[in-house]
Chain A
Amino acid sequence: MGEWLSYGLSDLLLFSERVYWRLFVLENAALWPLPLVAPVVLAGIGVVLHARRPEAGLPLLLALLALAWLSTGWSFVWQRYATVNWAMAYLAPLFAGQAAILAWLALSGSRPPVAPQPRWLGHGLLLAGTAVYPFLAPVQGRMLAGAEVAGIAPDPTAVASLGAAFLIDGRGLRLAVLFLPALWLGQSALTLYVLNGPAALSPALALAAALAGAVLLPRR
């Protein structure tokens, strides 16, 4: 145990920053035009429909997110990321777990309770994951072809899921939806911190916002 503690974070990373960002280029190319469609659908359902008809919009959003976790876990984490990071083979099943939680909430007979106003944190995180995240690539000096897109890449999918969690009423249900996305974003922030310090800011900020919301927003 003592020996493991003597390793730095950088000693535990097996791949380079270049390899990491190339994963998104390859994934987007392989799934094209899904990377264009998925975030638009998620943002449209999530914000527009939910804002107008929250009771109907929330189950649809959760069902789409369940699909997103399933496909991201299988296609990106298991088939692509795990080829350069064997630890991902152990995390990929968690994506199926998160998909199951979301699907259960979306498809179970009783509709998930919609959080009362204000829902700005939920909508904000949802938009951050779907509409803002893809443009981090050019901001960080990478090609748009390697953009991280909700429904395809895990980080924006997790950020959008944090948003969905804050659209659900009830502390227990909210935490159930929050837990795995928060865990993922935590490891992602650490990974990006080692690979390229500033890039860690996005998952770290989303995680911080969600944790603050979980603590500060009214509980029921």
Chain B
Amino acid sequence: MMTGAAAICALPRAARAQDVTLRRIPSTGAQVPAVGLGSWITFNVGNDPVLLQDCTDVIAAFVEEGGGMIDSSPMYGSSQDTIGFGLRRLGHPETVFSTDKVWTNAPEDGPDQVAETRSAWGIERFDLLQVHNLVAWDAHLETLFAMKAEGRLGHVGLTTSHGRRHRLLERLMRDYPVDVVQLTYNIADREAENRLLPLAREKGIAVIANRPFRRGALPQALEGRPLPGEARELGVSAWPQLLLKFILSHPDITVAIPATTQVAHVRENKAAARGPLPDAAMRRRILAHFASL
């Protein structure tokens, strides 16, 4: 696993050469590939040996494509165990930026949950741990900051999704020295642009965009609809890549974490980070086209 500011050093030379869109976490200088891997629903496969192998193949492809942030949560059923299974099979690749969450209403249970999460992944130290949906945030932040100070954690973060609890997230971003926030951002959910993304820039906080495809609903709704003219300039031939390029082109978004069960989709998602990204004018035209559909 990558650790703190040394993260980029851990990336193989090939990965550095291929992925021109490494993103920097301002507070530590650690660099991570712009496209990560979510695990909500897709990696919750229980102890099904066939599906566990499928997920391992997805992780293997992700690593082959440069690796980066793999994100999970105790809330995601067996996803943590699935990731642990895959990482063990793959010999714990160094290019994985281990990212998970604390999710319990009982503050005293936080440290035990973190220990269980570490055990599920089969690792000693996380690159990033976040307070999931701001649940019991005060106690969990205290735990995570203490872990970071002791060198047992690389970064501390906060998460929300579906546009919820933005007001509280904004307050916490102002009051606490968090390294990362995770929130929902995609072409249809852009509320974060108003206050949270500018604040993240001001405070030097990295931003992870979750639900980049609205759990597959966006590509499904857009299937068969014409791509905007900008797609050709961007070298894109399908909506999912354009949707990702749109997210990654926002200057305050650090990483997007699409989840998938298919190796082909991992490779397509990773490809979206390469090549040109839309500039501000193109973003406006893409938005106008999207609104017209």
Residues of chain A touching chain B, judged by Cβ–Cβ distance below 8 Å, are: 3, 6-7, 10-11, 13-16, 18-19, 22-23, 26, 80, 83-86
Contacts and interface: CB of A to CB of B under 8 A. Distances in A.
Contacts of A19: 44-46, 48, 51
Contact of B46 (A3, A7, A11, A84): A84
A22 B55 CA distance: 15
A29 B45 CA distance: 17
A80 B78 CA distance: 11
Contact of A22 (B48, B164, B165, B261): B48
Contact of B44 (A10, A15, A26): A15
Interface in B154-168: 162, 164-165
Nearest to B46: A83
Contacts of B44: 14-16, 19, 84
Contacts of B75: 14
A16 B77 CA distance: 12
Pick the 9 closest A-B CB pairs, nearest first.
A83-B46, A84-B46, A14-B77, A84-B77, A15-B44, A84-B44, A14-B44, A83-B78, A22-B48
Output the residue of A10, A13, A16 with the most chain B CB within 10 A: A16
Given A3-B165, A14-B44, A86 B77 contact: yes
A3 to B, nearest CB: 6
A3 B48 contact: no
Given A84-B77, A85-B77, A26 B48 contact: yes
Given A15-B41, A16-B42, A6 B164 contact: yes
Interface string B40-75: 111011111011000000000000000000000001
Contacts of B45: 15, 19, 22, 84
A50 B12 CA distance: 71
